Amino acid sequence: MPATLTPVSLRLTPEEYFDWEETQEEKHDYIYGEVFAMSGANRTHNDIAGNLAVALRLAFRGTECSAFSSDMRVQVEPDGRYTYPDLPAVCGEPTFLNARETTLVNPALVAEVLSPSTEAYDRGDKLATYRGVPSIREIVLVRQDRRAVEVYRREGEARWTVEDLGQGTLALASVGAEVSFDELYAGTRC
């Protein structure tokens, strides 16, 4: 069990989880039958996630790429793990698990804004499982306490590189877009 997530006293199949999740006010990750409540985000976290979504949506105009909000669930492991990144994006036709179109199965990019309550999970178990999703080409971890971004890029089948950035422009090859640090951190104290 991830140490930073709050377990809900439920054991569900994936299908039961999807039905149950639609009736909930809060979002929940699903990990091998267990359901975990996602913690709420503060203003800075929301500003950064929103800024990234807006910048990518503007960059994607006229292309086949789409950026989704943190309400889009991602299938990380079929029948085993479903999670909500702060921003998933896909180029080409998005593929969904079912007709509900609430679970994306082919993200090219996932981004997480690191929060004190979830940073260990985002950097550890969640990052490791994202790296196992064949469609994911880049994973972006954005700090909210200072201007700092880590970009994990898939190089071949099993090799990943990491780039640490603190200023300038965030170049996202997986979706053919660039976001300046000023755009990313606009409206924050960073």
Instruction: Record the tokens describing residue 109, joined without a space.
Output: 């990019």
- Going 3 to 131 to 149 to 86, the CA torsion angle's sign is negative
SS3 60: coil
Whole-number Cα distances in Å, 20 to 8, 13, 26, 80, 95: 12, 10, 11, 16, 22
Q: Which residues contact 186 (CB under 8 A, 6 or more apart)?
A: 47, 51
- Of 95, 91, 82, 90, nearest to 19 (Cα)? 82
pTM of the model: 0.93
* The pLDDT of residue 4: 52
Per-residue pLDDT tens, the chain, 190 aa: give them: 444 555 676 889 999 999 999 999 999 999 999 998 887 889 999 999 999 999 999 999 999 999 999 999 999 998 899 999 999 999 999 999 999 999 999 999 999 999 988 899 999 999 999 999 999 999 999 999 999 999 999 998 889 999 999 999 999 999 999 999 999 999 999 9
Lookup: tokens for 43 = 């203003």
Partners of residue 180 on adjacent β-strands:
169
Which CATH homologous superfamily contains domain 41-184?
Answer: tt1808, chain A (3.90.1570.10)
List the domain boundaries for the chain: 41-184
Report the length, in residues, of the chain: 190
Instruction: Determine contact, residues 53/87, Cβ cutoff 8 Å.
Output: yes
